[in-house]
A = this chain, B = another copy of it.
Amino acid sequence: MKKYKGYLIDLDGTMYKGTEKIEAASDFVKALAEKQIPYLFVTNNSSRTPEQVAEKLTEFDIPTTKDHIFTTSQATANFISGKKSNASVYVIGEEGIRDSIVEKGLQINDMNPEFVVIGIDREITYEKLSIACLAVRQGATFISTNGDIAIPTERGLLPGNGALTSVITVSTGVQPIFIGKPESIIMEQALKVVGTSLEDTLMVGDNYDTDIMAGMNTGLDTLLVHTGVTTVEMLQSIERKPTYTVGSLEEWIEKM
């Protein structure tokens, strides 16, 4: 069995389920820490800051600092800054994406912005969507933090950022650049942050369509854990399998 020198790890469904603990997750990450194997949590959640995400993991007894977190908001800010430093950006979204944009030295602006970014925004308004549509029609580059269609909550599946994004896509006819999983944009950046090579890094997650596809799209080996979205039955009908599959991350610890 190949020994991986770095791990990229999904959060919801892999490290916890909503507000619920996944027992093996804590031991899994502690084993990585003990063996001094670098790991980075890669999340499509654009609403929280890395500090807030780290705090939640710590509560689940998973050894985490903010430097172990890589959000699609950080990836989005990096992506824009790579296209143009100091760019002006119109932002729809919550604290996580706003913080990342500002920290990267980009200018938040609703008048003739060069970029329009949308992340999940539970205070979405018609005016915000209007400003975004007008800017995209005027040529602003249209970016979406992620295409997730739904967010699991205790009430059921609520609209995800991919669903909100479609207002602008449908109205303007312009397709966004998606940054988050399953796109390789977030993964290639995460790989640089974790600091290991493509061949020596494993992508770990519970969702075939986002986590595993993200790994595959980037050329990484993948480990699917059946504690979240993708069940054993669902995987049967999928042709291109993950590199490895486990029922619980507990099973993987001895293979590290």
What residues make up the interface of A, taking CB atoms closer than 8 Å to B? 121-126, 129-130, 133-134, 137, 149-150, 155-160, 162-164, 166-173
Contact = CB atoms under 8 A, between A and B. Distances in A.
Contact of A158 (B123, B130, B150, B159): B130
Contacts of A125: 123-125
Quick one: which of A156, A157, A158 has the most chain B CB within 10 A? A158
A158 B170 contact: no
A124 B130 CA distance: 12
Given A155-B130, A158-B130, A158-B134, A167 B163 contact: yes
Given A130-B155, A164-B167, 18 more contacts: A123-B126, A124-B126, A124-B129, A126-B158, A129-B163, A133-B150, A133-B156, A133-B157, A134-B155, A134-B157, A149-B170, A149-B171, A157-B172, A163-B166, A163-B170, A163-B171, A166-B167, A166-B170
A56 to B, nearest CB: 22
A167 B159 CA distance: 7
Contact of A160 (B124, B163, B171): B171
A6 B114 CA distance: 51
B170 A162 contact: yes
Contacts of A123: 125-126
Contact of A126 (B121, B134, B155): B121
A171 B149 CA distance: 5
A124 B173 CA distance: 21
B156 A171 contact: no
A162 B129 CA distance: 13
Contacts of A159: 126, 129-130, 133, 167-168, 171
Contacts of A156: 133-134, 137
A238 to B, nearest CB: 18
Contacts of A150: 133, 171
24 contacts: A123-B125, A123-B126, A126-B158, A126-B159, A129-B159, A130-B155, A130-B159, A133-B157, A133-B158, A133-B163, A134-B156, A134-B157, A137-B156, A137-B157, A149-B173, A158-B171, A160-B171, A163-B166, A163-B167, A163-B168, A163-B171, A164-B167, A166-B166, A166-B169
Contacts of A124: 124-126, 129
Nearest to A133: B159
